[in-house]
């Protein structure tokens, strides 16, 4: 599904990703852990196609080179990013945003356009699975949402848009214990042989709920170690000192 | 000035011309032209005298030059001041008699006038160049005692009302363009709402400039008598030409005790092409007097068109406890320029005003908010709240905020907030990541930015206005 070879990314003089290799197959769950500033969010941005990076190396999604493909086209191909810090968009109604996004993505998949009523029904259904109060849907997008509410809203969008590759950037940070379980259940119920996850996290806790097939340690822009879920437990005990 | 129709600008879908024979006054700004207009409109002597007085005054006035957008000198002798479709010369009384070509024109503009297809809940007065061609729903309105007709008709049928209020808010001698308008105004709408009547539908005027080398001098007068309410909306479009055309309107509103007027504008005059060629000069004087106690006037404007927009819809808060509001969206793209804002003149006690201005600039455009809040000595316990937000797209455009604040008593409070920001890249990224392309993302974010103003518009027009906001910015980010 996703294949990165010797991927490098820099902004101006600062090089952030420094030669990264990663292969994610359909149905796999990969976790990335690593110290603050090691380049995890940058990797997520680069995969989504965010502008402003100098990129080299190869970046392939389902066999296709992504380098020249803009952000919205990548989203339409099935790449989804749950943001570490979801941005507030004042004046934009949350459910309108979800409707617009959902129909755009559905259209690109050749699925039929849903009318407002059908869309709203679907959104409410998924929202209730995540224990999201309907009132949020009529609020301005992310405006004044608590940290946890913003994260839940990201997972709601993931469930609606049904991406092939979901990148979750510290979705667990800021969630209370119950919310963490709900979000993890959300991810698990969506998990299938056809889609993959790249989960960025600092904590073993999330990985107790969502069992990763691989755990990678990202340090200073490179993957310095790859292992199975035991690696996460090990890191919890020892920290990153062995990798610096 | 040539009359070539430009068809390169695909975004402006109202740029067509109606091929119709018109009847014009001879070119030039002269006493004869004024007499011609007055005679065509069968006006009483007092009004001709009034016009001539304005004309005399005009000769001693200078065209103002303090505004930010400069423009080449206008040759007032090379303009037509009156142009009417020949078929309207003997004005039809009923809609069935209106020239089909004109009906077709309004249909194309999305304003069907014929009985079956007309907009429900909205009465329309259609002004084509210098004359009003039709007014819908007259019968229903008359039953409630509401007068909604062209100002020309009002001059004939309701001379006392016109005489009493015309020029009572914008004096004959006010300033250059207002005085010019008083001398040569041709048509526009007249509204009178009797005491304690709530107008049951939206009243609206649709202004269309069609003839070339012609100035449009609209005159609108709205009077809300004691305890009445009216919501009024105007729309404007013009063909695409590479000449600049002048639209210099005067709009006067009068609200008596406990009356409320809500006045909305969706201005979409031809903005000129991408190189800045052509487009309307929209130099308009709009002023409302809250003459009675507890009265309220609220201006909402969505200004997306015109090469230059230069206007300050204002409120004179004379009555105690009266309220003035100004909600504005001004969008400038390519080479468009806007210098707009409001004046809130507080004279009565406990008067309140609120100003919400959203300026959006793209391309090489320039956008200025200019506003005056003037709280007089006697206007004790008054309040103003002003919020001006500017949004910039790209780095070749400009935004300026020029607030003038005068508070002459200590019991009153003025609050002013202003922000200027670039379109937020992180917001765009977020929207793109959810599948929206650049144009959809911008449209969404900008409409969100304008929300507070858009939601002031009557529902029937809000959707249209949102689309207009998006279309005006097409191609603005590369
Ligand atoms: N636009 C930028 N300009 C300059 N430096 C940047 C920019 N964006 C990121 N960086 C730097 O790149 C490094 C990696 O940042 P990134 O956000 O990817 O880290 P992270 O691994 O996600 O950290 P955290 O765990 O704190 O979220 C940091 O040192 C950061 O300061
Ligand atoms: Mg991060």
Instruction: Please report, for the domain that includes residue A39, its CATH number.
Output: 3.40.50.300
Sheet holding A165-169, edge to edge: A79-82, A165-169, A196-200, A29-33, A214-219, A222-227
Quote the CA–CA distance of B268 and B307 in Å, as a whole number.
Answer: 10
For the stretch A105-134, pLDDT in tens is 999 999 988 898 999 999 999 999 999 998
Q: Which residues pair with A173 in a beta bridge?
A: none
For A160-174, what is the mean pLDDT? 94
Instruction: Count up the domains in chain B and report the number.
Output: 1
pLDDT at B8 over 60: no
Can you give the C-alpha Rg of chain A in angstroms?
18
Q: Is the pLDDT of residue B370 over 70?
A: yes
Chain A environment of B469 (Cβ under 8 Å): none
In a domain, B300, yes or no: yes
Write the residue with the smallest CA distance to atom 6 of ligand 1. A11
Half-sphere exposure of B268 toward its Cβ, with a 13 Å CA cutoff? 21
The whole-angstrom separation of Cα B196 and Cα B229 is 8
Burial B315-341 (b: 16+ CB within 10 A, else e): bbbbbbbbbbbbbbbbbbbbbbbbbbb
Question: Does the pLDDT at position B386 exceed 80?
Answer: yes
Q: What values do phi and psi take at B234, rounded to 5?
A: -120, 145
pLDDT at A24: 95
Residue B442 falls inside a structural domain: no
Lowest mean pLDDT among A162-171, A215-224, A229-238: A229-238
Nearest to A17 by CA among A54, A35, A36, A43: A43
- Among B166, B253, B151, B257, CA closest to B205: B151
The answer to whether the beta carbons of residues A100 and B440 sit under 8 Å apart is yes
Q: Is the confidence at residue B117, as pLDDT, over 70?
A: no
Is A42 touching ligand 1 by the criterion CB < 6 Å? Answer: yes
Domain of residue A10 covers 2-243
| B12 pLDDT tier (thresholds 50, 70, 90) | confident
A162-188 average pLDDT score: 92
Distance separating the N- and C-terminal Cα atoms of chain A: 30
Q: What is the pLDDT of residue B115?
A: 63
Distance B265 CA to ligand 1 centre (A): 47
Return the top range by mean pLDDT from B9-23, B67-81, B86-100, B115-129: B67-81
Is A83 part of the contact surface with chain B (CB cutoff 8 Å)? yes
Res B224: pLDDT: 98
Chain centroid offset of residue B272 CA: 18
In this complex, the residue of A50, A86, A104 whose CB is nearest that of residue B435 is: A104
- This complex has an ipTM of 0.96
Q: Residue B216 pLDDT > 90, yes or no?
A: no
Which atom of ligand 1 lies closest to the CA of A35?
Answer: 25
Does A26 lie at the interface with B, CB-CB under 8 angstroms?
no
- Report which DSSP code applies to A214: E
Helix (H, G, I), strand (E, B) or coil at A118: helix
Coil, helix or strand at residue A100: helix
CA of A42 to the centre of ligand 2 (A): 7
Parallel, antiparallel, or unpaired for β B296-303 and B260-267? parallel
> Would you list the DSSP string of A138-206?
GSEETTT--HHHHHHHHHHHHHHH--SEEEEESTTTT--HHHHHHHHHHHHHH--TT-EEEEE-S-HHH
Comparing CB atoms, the residue among B427, B435, B449 nearest residue A101 is B435
Lowest-confidence region among A135-144, A171-180, A198-207, B203-212? B203-212
In a domain, B457, yes or no: no
* Sign, Cα dihedral of B463, B255, B209, B103: positive
State the average pLDDT over residues B127-132: 77
Residues B97-112 as b or e (16 or more Cβ within 10 Å = b): ebbeebbebbeebebb
Compute the average pLDDT of residues A53-79.
94
pLDDT tens digits for range B301-345:
999 888 899 999 999 999 999 999 999 999 998 889 989 999 999
pLDDT at B128 over 90: no
Characterize the bridge pairing of strands B244-247 and B260-267.
unpaired
Q: Is the CB of A37 under 6 A from ligand 1?
A: yes
The pLDDT value recorded for residue B79 is: 87
What distance separates the 2 farthest-apart alpha carbons in chain A?
55
Domain that holds residue B369: 12-428
Distance CA A187, CA A189 (A): 6
A51 CB within 6 A, ligand 1 = no
The residue of chain A nearest to residue B439, with distances taken between CA atoms, is A72
Nearest C-alpha in B relative to A162: B434
Distance, in Å, from the CA atom of B366 to the CA atom of B190, rounded to the nearest integer, reads 34
pLDDT, mean of residues A30-46: 95
- Indicate whether B113 pLDDT > 80: no
- The separation between CA B79 and the C-alpha centre of its own chain, rounded to angstroms, equals 21
pLDDT at B17: 83
Nearest CA in chain B to A91: B448
User: Given CA atoms B64, B65, B70, B76 in this order, what sign does their dihedral have?
Assistant: positive
| Cβ–Cβ contact A115 with B under 8 A | no
Mean pLDDT of B233-238: 81
B285 φ/ψ angles, rounded to the nearest 5 degrees: -110, 115
| Pairwise CA distance, residues B456 & B298, whole Å | 9
Q: How far is CA B159 from CA A185, B46, B162, B165, B385, in A?
A: 76, 10, 5, 10, 39
CA of A237 to the centre of ligand 2 (A): 21
Q: Return the axis-axis angle of helices A94-108 and A116-129, rounded to nearest 10°.
A: 110
Residues with Cβ < 8 Å from B292, sequence gap 6 or more?
Answer: B226, B255, B256, B257, B258, B259, B319, B322
DSSP string, B398-427: EEEEEEEEEE-STT-EEEEEEEEEE--HHH
State the DSSP code for A135.
G
B57: distance to nearest CA of chain A, Å?
48
In this complex, do B434 and A76 lie within 8 Å of one another by their Cβ atoms? no
Query: How would residue B9 be classed by pLDDT, with cut points 50, 70 and 90?
Result: very low
Atom 19 in ligand 1: residue holding the nearest Cα: A37
CA distance B211 to chain A (A): 40
Q: Look at residues B270, B283, B281 and name the one whose alpha carbon lies nearest to residue B333.
A: B270
Q: Which of A40, A173, A217, A219 to probe ligand 1 with, by most ligand atoms within 8 A of CB?
A: A40
* Cα–Cα distance, B240 to B280 (Å, whole number): 9
Mean pLDDT of chain A: 92
Least Cα separation, residue A240 to chain B (angstroms):
30
Q: How many separate domains does chain A show? A: 1
Q: Percentage of chain A with pLDDT > 70? A: 100
DSSP string, B143-197: HTT-EEEEHHHHHHH-HHHHHHHTTSSS-TTS-HHHHHHHHH----EEEEE-TT-
Ligand 2 centroid distance, CA of A170 (Å): 7
From the number of C-beta atoms within 10 Å of its C-beta (0-12, 13-18, 19+), residue B248 rates as: buried
Residue B185 has what pLDDT? Answer: 93
- Cα–Cα distance between A56 and B96 in angstroms, integer? 70
Across chain B, mean pLDDT equals 87
| B433 sits in which H/E element | helix B425-433
Report the pLDDT averaged over residues B71-88: 84
Residue A225 near residue A243, CB atoms below 8 Å: yes
């Amino acid at each position: 599904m996703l294949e990165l070879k010797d991927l490098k990314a820099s902004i101006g003089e600062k090089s952030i990703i420094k030669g990264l290799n990663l292969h994610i197959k359909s149905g796999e769950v990969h976790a990335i852990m690593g110290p603050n500033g090691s380049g995890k969010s940058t990797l997520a941005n680069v995969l989504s196609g965010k502008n402003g990076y100098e990129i080299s190396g190869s970046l392939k999604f389902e066999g296709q080179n992504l380098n020249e493909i803009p952000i919205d086209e990548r989203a339409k191909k099935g790449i989804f990013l749950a943001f570490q810090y979801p941005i507030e968009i004042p004046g934009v109604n949350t459910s309108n945003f979800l409707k617009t996004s959902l129909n755009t993505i559905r259209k690109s998949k050749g699925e039929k356009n849903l009318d407002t009523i059908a869309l709203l029904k679907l959104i409410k259904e998924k929202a209730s699975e995540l224990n999201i109060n309907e009132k949020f849907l009529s609020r301005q997008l992310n405006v004044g949402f608590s940290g946890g509410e913003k994260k839940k809203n990201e997972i709601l969008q993931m469930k609606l848009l049904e991406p092939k590759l979901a990148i979750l950037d510290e979705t667990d940070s800021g969630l209370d214990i119950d919310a963490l379980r709900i979000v993890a259940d959300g991810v698990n119920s969506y998990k299938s042989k056809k889609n993959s996850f790249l989960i960025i996290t600092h904590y073993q806790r999330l990985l107790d709920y969502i069992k990763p097939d691989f755990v990678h340690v990202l340090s200073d822009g490179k993957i310095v170690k790859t292992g199975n879920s035991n690696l996460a437990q090990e890191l919890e005990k020892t920290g990153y000192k062995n990798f610096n | 000035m040539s009359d070539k129709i430009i068809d390169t600008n695909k975004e402006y879908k109202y740029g067509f011309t109606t091929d119709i024979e018109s009847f014009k006054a001879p070119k030039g700004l002269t006493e004869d032209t004024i007499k011609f207009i007055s005679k065509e409109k069968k006006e009483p002597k007092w009004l001709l005298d009034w016009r001539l007085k304005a004309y005399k005054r005009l000769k001693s006035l200078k065209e103002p030059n303090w505004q930010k957008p400069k423009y080449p000198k206008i040759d007032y002798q090379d303009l037509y001041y009156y142009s009417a479709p020949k078929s309207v010369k003997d004005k039809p009384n009923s809609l069935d008699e209106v020239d089909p070509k004109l009906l077709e024109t309004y249909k194309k503009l999305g304003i069907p006038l014929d009985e079956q297809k007309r907009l429900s809940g909205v009465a329309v007065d259609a002004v084509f160049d210098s004359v009003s061609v039709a007014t819908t729903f007259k019968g229903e309105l008359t039953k409630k005692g509401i007068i909604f007709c062209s100002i020309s008709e009002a001059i004939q049928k309701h001379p006392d009302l016109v005489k009493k209020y015309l020029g009572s808010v914008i004096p004959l001698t006010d300033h250059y363009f207002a005085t010019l308008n008083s001398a040569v105004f041709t048509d526009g709408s007249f509204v009178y709402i009797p005491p304690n009547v709530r107008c049951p539908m939206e009243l609206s005027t649709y202004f269309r400039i069609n003839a070339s080398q012609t100035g449009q001098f609209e005159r609108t007068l709205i009077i809300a008598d004691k305890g009445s309410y009216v919501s009024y909306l105007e729309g404007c479009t013009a063909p695409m030409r590479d000449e600049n055309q002048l639209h210099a309107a005067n709009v006067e509103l009068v609200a008596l005790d406990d009356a409320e007027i809500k006045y909305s504008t969706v201005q979409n005059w031809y903005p000129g092409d991408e190189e800045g060629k052509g487009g309307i000069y929209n130099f308009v004087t709009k002023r409302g007097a809250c003459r009675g106690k507890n009265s309220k006037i609220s201006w909402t404007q969505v200004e997306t068109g015109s090469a230059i927009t230069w206007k300050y819809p204002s409120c004179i808060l004379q009555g105690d406890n009266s309220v003035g509001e100004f909600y504005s969206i001004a969008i400038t793209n390519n080479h468009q320029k806007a210098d707009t804002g409001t004046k809130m003149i507080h004279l009565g006690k406990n008067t309140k005003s609120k100003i919400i201005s959203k300026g959006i600039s793209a391309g090489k455009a320039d956008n200025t908010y200019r506003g005056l809040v003037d709280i007089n000595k006697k206007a004790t316990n008054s309040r103003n709240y002003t919020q001006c937000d500017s949004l910039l797209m790209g780095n070749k455009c400009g935004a300026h905020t020029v607030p003038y604040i005068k508070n002459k008593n200590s019991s009153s409070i003025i609050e002013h907030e202003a922000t200027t920001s670039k379109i937020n890249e992180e917001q765009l990224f977020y929207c793109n990541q959810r599948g929206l392309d650049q144009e959809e993302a911008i449209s969404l974010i900008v409409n969100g930015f304008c929300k507070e103003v858009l939601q002031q518009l009557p529902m029937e027009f809000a959707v249209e206005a949102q689309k207009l906001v998006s279309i005006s910015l097409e191609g603005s980010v590369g």
